[in-house]
Structure 1
Amino acid sequence: MATTDRQATTLALAHALSAAERGLAVIPLSRTKLPALRSPHRDDPAAGPCHGECGRFGHGVYDASTDPARIRALFAAAPRATGYGIACGLPPHHLIGIDLDVRSDTDSSVSSVSSVALRELALRHLFTIPATVVVLTPSGGRHLWLSGPPDAVVPNSAGRLAPGIDIRGAGGYLVGPGSRTDHGVYTAAPGTAHLPPATCPPALLRLLLPPPRTPRARGTAPPGSAPAGSHGQGLVQFVLAAHEGQRNTRLFWAACRAYEDGIGPALVAPLVDAALNTGLTEREARATIASAARMTGHRP
């Protein structure tokens, strides 16, 4: 192995140990940003799912640790590692990563689509991103580190929040600053390396969490499924696409169509969830839907 690779591995281990001192669980990564240790079950097609219960290394993010001895052992088993990954969703920080990609079809003087999309979301849902750790990627993107509550499981997603915005949550990982990849080095933005991951704004957290399941009576169809069909799902999507200034109007229109088509009662919960995602309160949403029911001659 080349001297430069050995140096990269040594530096990656040093950065990983430093991150672990801050309570961040880490794993070694290769130059491709993938876990540096291969699965010990790769040659056993009959092996069931294993998250490290077998006691061997090679289970990706499930190997992540803050224990210096274990981290050194992980890197010793991965001598070609040149970076490290930070597991999301684990205590004490319950890290959430906001991955902002950049535009590849324009020059760097043009603001990235993802940054603009995040600003629009912040304006629409009335939240601000607090001062926090920001990691700059070799491609010009940014990773924002936020801390979630211990009882919230934020799922990983790609582009669900907005185009160009990926979310790293439970079961995912972020490439740590100081990691060297095929495309360059990840670095902490000036003035942010010393910061702890800031608390995720509640309004943003609501957008990141999956819609809550509404309790239903035994024997009834799930909200927004069988009784509503594809038409009902289309009405829900119509509400989800609303911008500020048209949220109540779209919700009222969709609720009217639902009651006229006989699927109003089954669609109340999905429409309320959709309205909450656009920024309306539950009280506002239910009042608007009740108005639509009365307007169409139905009991709310």
Structure 2
Amino acid sequence: MAASARQTAALNHALALAHALAAAERGLPVIPLSRSKLPALRSPHRGERRHVPCRGECGLPGHGVHDATTDPSAVRALFAAAPWASGYGIACGRAPHRLIGVDLDVREADDETPDGTDGVAALRDLARRHGFTVPPTVTVLTPGGGRHLWLTGPPDVVVPNSAGRLAPGVDIRGCGGYLVGPGSITSRGTYRLAAGSADLAPAPCPPALLTLVAPPPPPPPPAPDHPSPPGPAAAEGLIRFVLASPHGQRNTRLFWAACRAYENGAPAPLLAALTTAALTTGLPEPEVHATLASAATITSRPPPPGLPA
């Protein structure tokens, strides 16, 4: 690498660290990102023969969004371990802000999308049809012409990640996802705060939009005096349903299956099996526990002892 290129990389790294530290000071958990927008640090388990379902419990960096932290010393350590990092990611769904990222893509027409993609117009149409207004909030302009809207969610709602579920060009970054922070330099360009965003705080997600992005609530369950647990075939069906979750629907499927389990008495072995199935799909353990707790709350049935309340 030429001297000028090394100097540029060092400057980009220093700027990314400075932006990440400023975000951490505001209570936003951050991780270093490479120019590809992916986590800069590789998994410490990549050479192991047996899959290790670790989300940072080993104490080593390299677990993606699970490394995200607001501790300045830890942020500096992560960036020191990734001197090639030129950006930073902000973990969504984490206290205190519990960010919900609305990622609006704007793309020109091509062979795959003859009409192009306009996530901004799609969100405007959703707002009109569902009767909500997107409040002034932190807005980040992406190099591709799109934008990220930062909203906050309530502590008792787990918002899953999704891509195009609400409308083409409208992706949601929720628990287990991250947003590229403003000031990050990527291979496609720099992410920048929109004019007027610098002094704003993330606004609360409008209730109607929250209903769209959160897992759908189950229909009111029957309330027998002594609910019967699901039979073996039904239980196996719920477990298979969770195991077959495609990326972007893992949280939603677990929530639905857990609601069905709670409606029928929530036997501990079934909840344990659903937990194992969700972990197998790659959901982080804290996210699994939070989703089970949300299902228990909505169905008004406390989880049995030994499982998350």
Determine the structure 1 residue equivalent to 2:178.
173
Is 1:130–2:135 an aligned residue pair? yes
Determine the structure 2 residue equivalent to 1:71.
75
Q: Aligned partners of 1:47 and 1:99: how far apart in 2?
A: 31
Determine the structure 1 residue equivalent to 2:41.
37
Determine the structure 1 residue equivalent to 2:218.
213
Determine the structure 1 residue equivalent to 2:28.
24
1:193 aligned partner, one-letter code: A
Q: Once the two structures are superposed, what CA deviation does each residue of 1:84-122 show, in whole Å capped at 9, x if it has no partner?
A: 00000001100000000002218xxx9962111111111
Determine the structure 2 residue equivalent to 1:93.
97
Q: How does 1:48-87 map to 2 (within 5 A)?
A: 48-87=52-91
1:56 aligned partner, one-letter code: L
Determine the structure 1 residue equivalent to 2:160.
155
RMSD of aligned Cα (Å): 2.1
Q: Once the two structures are superposed, what CA deviation does each residue of 1:236-295 show, in whole Å capped at 9, x if it has no partner?
A: xxxxxxxxxxxxxxxxxxxxxxxxxxxxxxxxxxxxxxxxxxxxxxxxxxxxxxxxxxxx
Identity across the alignment (%): 65
- SS across alignment from 2:107: coil
CA contact (8 A) 2:139 2:148 kept: yes
Q: How does 1:239-254 map to 2 (within 5 A)?
A: none
Q: CA deviation at 1:8?
A: 0.3
2:168 aligned partner, one-letter code: P
Which segments of 5 or more consecutive residues in structure 1 lack a partner in the other structure? 226-300
Q: CA deviation at 1:219?
A: 6.9
Q: Measured at CA, do residues 218 and 11 of structure 1 come closer, stay the same or move farther in structure 2, by a change above 3 Å?
A: same
**Greater C-alpha Rg:** 1
Q: How does 1:262-281 map to 2 (within 5 A)?
A: none
Q: Once the two structures are superposed, what CA deviation does each residue of 1:17-45 show, in whole Å capped at 9, x if it has no partner?
A: 00011110000000000000000000002
2:162 aligned partner, one-letter code: S
Choose from 121, 129, 145 the match for 1:116. Answer: 121
Determine the structure 2 residue equivalent to 1:194.
199
Determine the structure 1 residue equivalent to 2:17.
13
CA contact (8 A) 2:107 2:144 kept: no
Q: CA deviation at 1:218?
A: 3.5
Q: CA deviation at 1:47?
A: 3.5
Q: CA deviation at 1:203?
A: 0.5
Which segments of 5 or more consecutive residues in structure 2 lack a partner in the other structure? 238-309
TM-score, scaled relative to structure 1: 0.70
Aligned length: 221
- SS across alignment from 1:145: strand
- SS across alignment from 1:98: strand
1:78 aligned partner, one-letter code: A
**Deviating runs (4+, > 6 A) in structure 1?**
219-222
Determine the structure 1 residue equivalent to 2:291.
none
Q: Aligned partners of 1:160 and 1:128: how far apart in 2?
A: 19
2:217 aligned partner, one-letter code: P
Q: Aligned partners of 2:77 and 2:147: how far apart in 1?
A: 30
Q: CA deviation at 1:193?
A: 1.7
Q: Measured at CA, do residues 163 and 67 of structure 1 come closer, stay the same or move farther in structure 2, by a change above 3 Å?
A: same
- SS across alignment from 2:60: coil
1:170 aligned partner, one-letter code: C
CA contact (8 A) 2:117 2:168 kept: no
Q: How does 1:222-241 map to 2 (within 5 A)?
A: none
Between 1:43-52 and 1:26-35, the stretch displaced more is 43-52
Determine the structure 2 residue equivalent to 1:145.
150
Q: Aligned partners of 1:114 and 1:213: how far apart in 2?
A: 28
1:161 aligned partner, one-letter code: L
